[in-house]
Chains A and B, each alone.
Chain A
Amino acid sequence: MAHLDWTSDLETGIQVIDKQHQRIVDYINKLYHAQQFHSREEVGTVLDELVDYTLSHFAFEESLMEEAGYPFINAHKKVHQLFVRRVADYQQRFKMGEDIADELLNTLRAWLINHIRNDDQDYSEDVRHNMENVSAKKTGGWLKRFFG
């Protein structure tokens, strides 16, 4: 498995979330290229960026779920937390000098695709409806840009 391609079946129909997911896919591909060029330094940099970005994305996504009253938000959060712990373990092993890139890439690709296709799809309808309600009330320009 090499480059991870963004395909339409990964779309949740929530533009801002889809863009964030695409950006995570870009980071995974950047990580793959860094590994291909055997650049340990670059792998470390991309890994840190990927972790930072993913944490912000999870926080954003959890706010949307909460705001939409998605009933399974706590279970979804637990899955995020488990993933964060796993990636932190990889980061730790990397810092100790281990070559974890292959294993990490496999985990990231499989996890992200599975998670987007099922767990994220499950909240998407609730979040979309909620956003449509908010948009319909014309309460703010920035929401229109995100969700319009």
Chain B
Amino acid sequence: MGSRSWLERVGRELARRGVPAGRRSRLLAELRDHLQDLTEGGERMSKIALDEVLGQPEAVAEQAATAYRKENWIRRHPLWVFGITPLPAALLGLTLYLLLAFGAAWLLERCFGELPVSGDHERLGRILLTAYAYTIGLVPFVACAVFFGWLAVRSKVSRWWLVVAVAQVGIVAWMVVTSVKFSDVPGQSQLLIGLRLPPWNNLNSWASLLSPGLLQLALPLAVGMIYLCVGSRRLGVLSRVP
């Protein structure tokens, strides 16, 4: 009875200090193992003896709560980091990628002036612009998935948080549409970028699986899968061990 009430006191003190249920049960399970080892010979320990050997329940709980508080911010707020941030982060990534390209184009123009219009230059310009248009739906989102994957592995949150984050990034990537309209009139070519609702209806044929839109969804998810596989031994260790 002494050991059970000692454990209950630790559990109450941990709850009072705001230690989450998963951490509480992990610590209590290990303390229970420890108590079993202590009383292996069948002897029973009084409450006072338990306090002396294992420590006061308040002291043990306080140390556990301090250790929990010292853990990084990401582990304590996974909902914010992996549940809410990915959406604005994906849009921010897209904006930065566009600004980067426009900044680079502006810088080139400032340095070298307007290029003379010739057949070769025009062809090269069209190839570059088309290639860039294709990367708009890929590069910022793959970078975003890498970032959240790295964050999840480093902070060792549950793998489900990584799935949540990468799924959001993938869906935003899937919604991005780009199109280039070239014009023979100088300065009149257009690069159009927009967001549409995820095209669920287009998934009814094998050909649709090879569409650029689906590649935009698949690549961030693949990055997430890689992080899940590589980091599976490190992710959520604390929550996995019962």
Q: Are A and B part of the same complex?
A: no
